[in-house]
Copies of this chain bind each other. A is one copy, B any other.
Amino acid sequence: MESILSERILSTPPSFVRSILKTAADPKIISFAGGLPNPVSFPQKELSESMTRITKTFSDKVFQYSITPGIPELRDTIAKRYNKKFGLNLTEENVIITTGSQQALDLIAKVLLDKGDNVILEKPSYLGAIQVFSQYQPKFHMVELTENGLDIEQLKEALKNKTKLMYAIPEFQNPTGLTYSEQNRKEILETIKDENLVLVEDDPYGELRFTGKHLPYIGAGKFKNSIVLGSFSKVVTPGMRTGYIISENKELLKHISISKEASDLHTNVFAQYLIWDYLTHNDFDAHIQTIRELYKKQAAAMLNAMDKYFPSSVKYTRPDGGMFLWVTLPEGVSALKLFPKALEKCVAFVPGDPFYINQKDVNTLRLNYTNADCETIEEGIKRLGELLKGI
């Protein structure tokens, strides 16, 4: 069998997400491992109303084949929302609907990367991005993430390699929960502005800010080959796999659309009408506010418990939004080796390893705070704290 597999699949790192979702499925485990939104973020009643409405209004149209870039209604709604929020100047032609943001990453890599091409990532980066990009066999260059954003000197160093793709999550980064400062964003733009590369700003959590002020994108509206990725997974429903690509570069979008057509023809059209109808008939911002307030409480519960139960040798980030925070253990302590011990105590997290390229036994780990109530969060952190006191 192995002899007929592609090089790309043989070079794909083993999947952590898979084992994470499996772990998270066991109800005995207090799981800080997944990236599951809290079910409160699914407006179930309103979505059910929208289902009735769209099947009545559009009849067979919601069940039939449709066009590759997505239904114009939804793309137009997204464009207008971004224009209002970020002062951009988008139309539906700047938007392609994707089968979740994960597909967007696949399509972008497909359109840009040949084997050996250089890709810049944050250090650490989203493991799903590493996984999907790996299938196109690029050369990765990781740029350290600091409290303020990317390390600019390291970025300049990385750019000495002719780079096609730079991937960043400037807002409540996955896995660290860090947010790039406005100053850092300006410096990044200044650093890359003459480069012939595509900057992807992945922004699935941007709506989930519970502290601090809203910040502009690095590239959108300013950098020619800028792409912003968005998703309804964290604010409406992830089960419907509806994300989107925004870019002012229509030539780039044309290629992405051709590639999408080859990949799955188009995204579930019922899901597109559903989300569009939901957005049109409800107070979406009020709904988001509910999620923000919940996550603010849950993040605070986790941080308070960490302050109380973790030894002072363990450091962690304090996110202004999003779903994750990042823990740094004392030097030399392997989070991966800690993982089975935590599972014995019925607590799960994601060891840092899969967020790096080819690094083993790192001393960092990711915690998710959105999918457990505050008491459970405290209990889980307490158990982890007991474990950490023994290291």
Q: Does A26 lie at the interface of the complex (its beta carbon under 8 Å from any beta carbon of B)? A: no
Do the beta carbons of A239 and B1 come within 8 Å of each other?
Answer: no
* A136 cross-chain contacts in B, Cβ below 8 A: 6
> A261 CB to closest chain B CB, in angstroms?
6
Listed residue (A36, A134, A239, A251) with the most chain B CB atoms within 10 angstroms of its CB = A239
Chain A's interface size range is 35 or more
Q: This chain: how many copies in the complex?
A: 2
The answer on a CB contact under 8 Å between B42 and A252 is no
Which A residues, 196 to 253, have Cβ-Cβ distances below 8 Å to chain B?
Answer: 196-198, 225, 233, 237-241, 249, 251-252
Given the contacts A1-B251, A239-B268, A18 and B63 also touching, CB distance less than 8 Å: no
Establish whether residues A63 and B239, one from each chain, have CB atoms under 8 Å apart when the complex forms: yes
Q: Does A387 make an interface contact (CB < 8 A)?
A: no
Complex Cα–Cα for A35 and B265 (A):
12
Cβ contacts under 8 Å, A252 to chain B: 1
Cβ of A152 < 8 Å from any Cβ of B? no
A243 to B, closest residue via Cβ: B264
Contact across chains for B4 and A196 when beta carbons are under 8 A apart: yes
Q: What does the 1/0 interface line of A91-126 toward B look like (CB < 8 Å)?
A: 000000001101100100011111001000000000
Task: List A residues at the B interface (Cβ < 8 Å).
Answer: 1, 3-9, 12, 14-15, 17-18, 21-22, 25, 34-37, 39, 42, 44, 47-48, 51-52, 55, 59-60, 62-68, 99-100, 102-103, 106, 110-114, 117, 128, 131-132, 134-136, 164, 196-198, 225, 233, 237-241, 249, 251-252, 255, 257-259, 261-271
